[in-house]
Structures are given as C-alpha cells and as structure tokens.
A and B are shown apart, each in its own frame.
Chain A
Amino acid sequence: DIVMTQSPDSLAVSLGERATINCKSSQSIFYSSNNKNYLAWYQQKPGQPPKLLIYWASARESGVPDRFSGSGSGTDFSLTIRSLQAEDAAVYYCQQYYSAPYTFGQGTRLEIK
C-alpha cells in the first residue's frame, strides 16, 4: 500500500496570511503515460464530509476559490492557501488515487489565529 504522510499535523496561521501543508507519498504517484500526478486534496469541517479541493495535484475543483492551490510531483506535494479566511479553519487531507487501496494522509488541522 502507498503510505501518505502529511506535515505538519496541525498549524495556526493568522487571518490574511498564507498556510502551506505538505504531503509525501511512499512511492511515486506520477503516471508518465498521461503526465499526471494522482493526488487530491480535501477539506473537512466538523460534522461534514470531506470536500474535494484539488485533483491531479494542481487542478482546482469547480467552485473552489483560487486562494487554494496545489503543487508538486512524484512523491512530494503541497497545498497552499493564501489570504487565509476564517472559514478556512478545517482539517485537510491528501489522497493518492494512483493505485488501490486509495490511501489518505493522517490529516492536518488548520487553525486561524
């Protein structure tokens, strides 16, 4: 199984500042035949299901603010949220969908100062 490891486990960032969450996969999740990284990012707020933010490592899901951006390739990825808003307080997960079982990171809790 591919192990997904996020860092940090939690972080507190001030309103209007930038937050960066990292995700590392135990093996490459880049598929050379289509030049895509099989990596997604989700946001989960209390009492709600996860919400897809980013897929193919950097493609923003429809309706997601452009404050959210994803980057990286191979085994190392990042989610960056710029100009933090109060509503961005949540737990963020990365997920690989390169090969089953489709595994998730342990989650990063983002607190807004």
Chain B
Amino acid sequence: QAQLVQSGSEVKKPGASVKVSCKASGYIFTNYLMHWVRQAPGQRLEWIGWINPGKGDTKYSQNFQGRVTITRDTAANTVYMELSSLRSEDTTLYYCARANEGGFAPWGQGTQVTVSS
C-alpha cells in the first residue's frame, strides 16, 4: 500500500536553509498531489503547500511564501521541501502527506527540524 518515508532530523542555525525529503512508494507517484504540513508542540497543524508531482506546479501558504520551495524528482519518486531564512519559530515537526480522494493520507513519519544557534 501507499507509504511515505521522510529524511531524518535536522539541526540548523538561524538564517540557514533546510531541505527535507519524502520518498513515496506503493502507488503511482505522479497521480496524487503531495502536501507538506508542520506541527509545533501545542499548536494546531499548519499547512505549508503542495506540489503536483506530475506537472511540477506548486501552491504555497501565504505564511511561507518566499521562504519555501517544494520540488520533486519523478525518477526517484521523491518530493522535497526546502525552507530558507530559518528562525527559532521554525523548530518543529514537518510532515509530508499525500492527497487522498478527500483529505490527506497517508502521512510520512515526520522530520524534526531544530533551529538553534
């Protein structure tokens, strides 16, 4: 069945960039949008953006516009989310999640990004 496996934890300094990967398997990669969502402790889930792996087009939340870039490698069935100009508030757990018929499913296991000087 469909499965998403994300890259491991990252520690970055303020102002740096981070690139998180999400490898898909068990389904036709180009047939489903892929979303990125983050979850800070005690905060609600926050949608970051999506990519259409087939066409490569993207849509981002205004909250991240200009700082986030989502790309894909169709040969590797992998989607990437790069966040730049990192600040302490970006310290949180990042998830990729595939678009379902409705809602998001499945989800990756999550990647912890820590921003610290």
Which A residues fall within an 8 A CB radius of B?
36, 38, 40, 42, 49-52, 54-56, 59, 61, 93, 95, 97, 100-107
CB pair A49 B107 closer than 8 Å: yes
CB pair A52 B100 closer than 8 Å: yes
CB pair A93 B103 closer than 8 Å: no
Contacts of A55 in B (CB 8 A): 100-103
CB pair A49 B109 closer than 8 Å: yes
Please pick, from B44, B105, B106, the residue contacting A107 in the complex, using a CB distance under 8 A. Answer: B44
Q: How far is the CB of A95 from chain B (nearest CB, A)?
A: 7
Chain A CB within 10 Å, residue with most, of B50, B102, B103: B103
* Sampled A-B contacts (6; CB under 8 Å): A49-B106, A52-B100, A93-B44, A100-B50, A101-B62, A105-B44
CB pair B110 A97 closer than 8 Å: no
CB pair A93 B102 closer than 8 Å: no
User: B50: nearest residue on chain A (CB-CB)?
Assistant: A100
**B47 at the A interface (CB under 8 A):** yes
Known: A100-B61, A101-B61. A52 touches B104 (CB 8 A): yes
**B35 at the A interface (CB under 8 A):** yes
Q: Do most interface residues of chain A lie in helix, strand or loop, or is the interface mixed?
A: loop
**B29 at the A interface (CB under 8 A):** no
**B19 at the A interface (CB under 8 A):** no
Q: Across chains A and B, which 10 residue pairs bring their CB atoms closest together, nearest first?
A: A55-B102, A40-B103, A49-B107, A52-B105, A55-B103, A104-B45, A101-B61, A102-B47, A56-B102, A106-B44
Known: A55-B100, A61-B100, A97-B102. A49 touches B108 (CB 8 A): yes
Contacts of A100 in B (CB 8 A): 47, 50, 59, 61
**B95 at the A interface (CB under 8 A):** yes
CB pair A50 B45 closer than 8 Å: yes
Q: How far is the CB of A103 from chain B (nearest CB, A)?
A: 7
**B63 at the A interface (CB under 8 A):** yes
Q: How far is the CB of A80 from chain B (nearest CB, A)?
A: 18
User: B6: nearest residue on chain A (CB-CB)?
Assistant: A49
Known: A49-B110, A55-B100, A101-B62. A61 touches B105 (CB 8 A): yes
